[in-house]
Chains A and B, each alone.
Chain A
């Protein structure tokens, strides 16, 4: 994460990819035991929070406890929104890490309903970058926007997605 924060995109991608199956295992465990929720929504919610809040991580501290703290907060939050009480002890989360499966892509299902809440331009930018894997520069050319505007649009869209994830009780 330290290298990712200093602007190394490849390392950041690797880190996010590596944490996803772990988060999926944690989320599924928390949901499977107590019969609730969409694992992939929670995983995406956690990834978004990690991304938007990563500046708050104290770099003199280890990253893992911070990540688990965010995951725990988001899982508890998702249960709270469903009107159920749940406590996820941190030790549980730590344990889960050891048993985490390496890959499980079969349930990386579509969550198109998220995007449908965004405005037209936000959606176009997010979709181009997410699905067509284009850079902000390419997107700015094809949409006829300044690259800076694409960046800002993208960041705002991410904040909106995070806010939406917090609101929808589904």
Chain B
């Protein structure tokens, strides 16, 4: 095909112009809705949800800040070769976790900290958070294919962080481990697993 012929084709292509931001904005509520349904039919809320509200709020403040910051950064990283925004803002979520950990140590003392950290359901957390992150990660990567990231793996990793934040927020509604030490340790490892998966998938799916 000659280049002039290619231009004929490009001009004739009248499908609507798409951008990654609106694709991402569309996919997030869908993923959240899908996860809410999955939670409803599968895991459900923890039985003592009403009395455990402070613990749930503690966990959500960490996971939702991670999801929110990652989702706020994602459109620019996916759409622009020189993204605006600072990736370092993601550190706010672990900082929130660190505050809760410090409060826990101050209140309960270092004795027994190891027991609280190890908890009883670490394997649940490590399996369920990545599982719950599959839906948001798939949705975010699909939407991000409209984009043109400078670094496909980096954009995929950020999508992984956002997906883990969303997945962990739902998991927090079911999780019975209420120590900030547990959350800081195992939720983080689960997030890293999803982030690595996002980077790997992104380096393939988001190349352009």
Residues of A participating in the B interface, judged by any CB pair closer than 8 Å: 5, 7, 9, 12-13, 16-17, 20, 40, 43-44, 47-49, 51-56, 58, 66, 69-70, 73, 105, 108-112, 114-115, 126, 129-131, 133, 135-136, 151-152, 154-155, 158, 162, 166
> In whole angstroms, what is the CA distance A154 to B116 when docked?
59
Given contacts A13-B7, A56-B19, contact A154 B12 (CB under 8 A): yes
- Tell me whether A110 and B13 are in contact (CB under 8 A): no
Interchain nearest-CB distance for B161 vs A (Å): 21
Chain B residues whose CB sits within 8 angstroms of the CB of A51 once the complex forms: 10, 13
Given contacts A47-B10, A56-B146, contact A114 B3 (CB under 8 A): no
- How many chain B residues sit at the interface, stated as a range, is 20 to 34
- Tell me whether A56 and B148 are in contact (CB under 8 A): yes
Smallest CB gap from A13: residue in B: B11
18 further A-B contacts with Cβ under 8 Å, apart from A55-B17, A151-B13, are A7-B14, A17-B4, A47-B3, A51-B10, A55-B146, A56-B79, A56-B147, A58-B79, A69-B82, A105-B4, A126-B9, A129-B9, A130-B5, A130-B8, A135-B12, A136-B14, A158-B10, A166-B207
> In whole angstroms, what is the CA distance A45 to B1 when docked?
12
Interface residues of B in 132-165 (CB under 8 A from A): 146-148, 150
A-B contact pairs, 16 of them (CB 8 A): A7-B14, A44-B6, A47-B7, A54-B17, A55-B17, A55-B19, A55-B20, A56-B19, A73-B150, A126-B1, A129-B8, A130-B6, A131-B8, A154-B12, A158-B10, A166-B208
Question: Chain A interface mostly helix, strand, loop or mixed?
Answer: helix
Chain B residues whose CB sits within 8 angstroms of the CB of A56 once the complex forms: 19-20, 79-80, 146-148
Interchain nearest-CB distance for A38 vs B (Å): 12
> In whole angstroms, what is the CA distance A133 to B7 when docked?
10
- Tell whether B81 is near chain A: CB-to-CB under 8 Å: yes
Residues of B participating in the A interface, judged by any CB pair closer than 8 Å: 1-15, 17-20, 79-82, 146-148, 150, 207-208
> In whole angstroms, what is the CA distance A109 to B5 when docked?
11
- Tell me whether B15 and A155 are in contact (CB under 8 A): yes
- Tell me whether B148 and A16 are in contact (CB under 8 A): no
Given contacts A56-B19, A158-B13, A162-B208, contact A43 B3 (CB under 8 A): yes
Q: Which 6 A-B pairs have the closest CB atoms?
A: A55-B19, A130-B5, A155-B15, A55-B17, A56-B79, A69-B81
